[in-house]
Amino acid sequence: MWIELRSRELHIHGVALVPEMRGQGIGACAFFDLETEFRDRVDVVELGVHESNADARRLYERLEVSTAKTLPDIGFVVLRKPLRG
């Protein structure tokens, strides 16, 4: 995972798993670990995903990450998950 702390926002630039390790819950565990580690320091987790990456989008939906905006010119979706009520 490539992450960046932006004031009270944790931005995930990228998540990479070798194909044979996908679908085993590793990405979800890593996301939950980030939430736990940064919960007291950030208000939101933000990441982007290409519209064509259906597997990643399904994972993020299961993790309750919502679409914040779409960037149709580049086929990208910006997703956010608040960590504080």
Q: Per residue in 7-23, pLDDT tens?
A: 999 999 988 889 899 88
Instruction: Say if residues 74 and 67 touch (Cβ distance below 8 Å).
Output: no
The domain in which residue 61 lies consists of: 2-82
pLDDT at 22: 86
pLDDT at 27: 87
Cα separation, 21 vs 75, in Å, equals 26
For the chain, what is the domain count? 1
| Prediction pTM value | 0.85
Domain at 60, CATH number = 3.40.630.30
Per-residue pLDDT of the chain (85 residues; tens, 9 = 90+): 999 999 999 999 988 889 899 889 898 999 999 999 999 999 999 999 999 999 889 889 999 999 999 999 999 999 999 997 5
Residue 43 DSSP label? S
